[in-house]
Amino acid sequence: MNELLRQDAELLWHPYSSMSEPSPMRLVQGADGVRLRLDDGAGGTVEAIDAMSSWWCMIHGYRNPVLDEALRTQIDSFSHVMFGGLTHEPAIRLAERLVEITPAPLRHVFLCDSGSVSIEVAIKLALQYQVARGHQGRTRMLTVRGGYHGDTFAPMSVCDPVNGMHSLFTGALAQQVFGPRPPAGYDGDEAAIAAWAAEMSELAERHATEIAAIVVEPILQGAGGMYAYSPGCLRILRELADRHGFLLILDEIATGFGRTGTMFASEHAGIDPDILCVGKALTGGYLSLAAMLCTTDVAHTVSSGPGGALMHGPTFMGNPLACAVALASIDLLLADDWRTTVGRISTGLSKGLAGAVGLSGVRDVRVVGAVGVVQLDGPVDVPRMTEAVLRRGVWVRPFRDLVYTMPPYISTDEEIAQIGLAITEAVGER
């Protein structure tokens, strides 16, 4: 085995990895545009389209000249300064742009290191908000099953209790209130939605004095199962929040920046959250950065409450390199006709994955915006499926019973077709 890979197995944890039984790794030699250049294990290289956009992030592709240049320019100015008592133009311009492109009531921005941390901050803000309003007892979150909100403790407490493996951390996790998963499908069945709404309403009522906020991923649950649901369900959650004085926190870390066909997925429902979290594609995949945005009501209520401040302040808050590249990435997106791009990818994925419908072992094929999903009737053999797709020039990272793709926005029609065909053929080969 390659010496580097041997060291990797000995030294490094990877996401959800075992040190005693390390899973197969591919060494990246380079990446350009939509393509990864991987070591083939025999002294050569193999090229593959990154159908994952490095987990929702790399929307404009690798080595994007505009993003590279934004980083170089900022490096030549300064790479980092503390954000306490100091500020800088990249953070200010980024905040301005985020306020412009997110739902209108969101006016204030907290910049932090990662999606999970932004959820931590959102939950903290919601708790402080309720305290400021005299509701000390409102310390729990209301959410739905099937969600994923990150891996640190507060986000983990609102992840699906089964898939999120709450049993491993019994006693250490905040006890949140879980409603049923919204009925499946963007065009969810009306009777099923009404029944779901009644259950959510009953839960909200029963726990009204304990709940600070509702937390969900709008329209599309990502790592909890690549599961789409009706915008109507979001409107129901907005009503419940208003009726009971809960805040509505929308986690758009995966769905943000056009991925579902609207700039933010909440737009499908025509509702506005009180708190919004974005991350992943925020920097075009270049650096770790996330943002939490909130309304003026929330910001001012917390600021005039006990403590008089939002109690959070990471060391690398508002990192100038990350802010500069995020601003460049958003501007690149806005300069493109991104709606048409996402629509084109969506159509391409629907066509490309159509062949998987009805294959033996395939339970469901679905496309939401620029996200394509093939759900099998059992767990995927991840190393085998990864290799089968890679042999066809495409990189995917399946999980549980899902083989899925969210291609870079710069993918051509031919590349989208190749992704669809590679997944379909690999699934057919099982």
Q: Which residues bind ligand PLP (CB under 6 A)?
A: 114-116, 119, 148-150, 217, 222-223, 251, 253-254, 279-280
C-alpha span between 402 and 375 (Å, rounded): 5
Q: How far is the CB of 223 from ligand PLP (least distance, A)?
A: 5
Active site residue 227: no
Q: How far is the CB of 287 from ligand PLP (least distance, A)?
A: 11
Helix axes 338-353, 413-428, angle to 10 degrees: 30
C-alpha span between 216 and 160 (Å, rounded): 11
Does 55 carry a binding-site annotation? yes
**Annotated active-site residue in 160, 229, 280, 286:** 280
Does 134 carry a binding-site annotation? no
Does 280 carry a binding-site annotation? yes
Cβ-based nearer residue to ligand PLP, 160 or 415: 160
Single out the residue of 369, 363, 365, 343 nearest to residue 355, CA to CA. Answer: 365
Specify which residues 278 forms β-bridges with: 291
Contact 226, 266 (CB under 8 A): no
Give the CB-nearest residue to ligand PLP: 115
Output the six-digit token pair for 147.
């969600």
Helix axes 190-206, 231-244, angle to 10 degrees: 20
**Annotated active-site residue in 50, 62, 129, 148:** 148
Active site residue 129: no
Cβ-based nearer residue to ligand PLP, 114 or 301: 114
**Annotated active-site residue in 50, 113, 160, 251:** 251
Does 351 carry a binding-site annotation? no
Q: How far is the CB of 335 from ligand PLP (least distance, A)?
A: 25
Whose tokens are 């409450």? That residue is: 305
Cβ-based nearer residue to ligand PLP, 203 or 253: 253
Does 313 carry a binding-site annotation? yes
C-alpha span between 362 and 382 (Å, rounded): 15
Does 315 carry a binding-site annotation? yes
Q: Which secondary-structure segment (H or E) carries 30?
A: strand 28-32
Single out the residue of 403, 430, 107 nearest to residue 272, CA to CA. Answer: 107
Cβ-based nearer residue to ligand PLP, 64 or 116: 116
Single out the residue of 395, 397, 367, 360 nearest to residue 380, CA to CA. Answer: 397
Does 53 carry a binding-site annotation? no
Q: What percent of the chain is helix, strand and coil (3-state, nearest 5)? A: 40, 20, 40
Q: How far is the CB of 423 from ligand PLP (least distance, A)?
A: 20
Quickly count: other Cβ atoms within 10 Å of residue 393's Cβ.
Answer: 17
Q: How far is the CB of 14 from ligand PLP (least distance, A)?
A: 14
Cβ-based nearer residue to ligand PLP, 60 or 280: 280
Residues annotated in a binding site for pyridoxal 5'-phosphate: 115-116, 251, 314-315
Residues annotated in a binding site: 55, 115-116, 148, 251, 280, 313-315, 397
Known catalytic residues are: 16, 148, 251, 280
Residues annotated in a binding site for substrate: 55, 148, 280, 313, 397
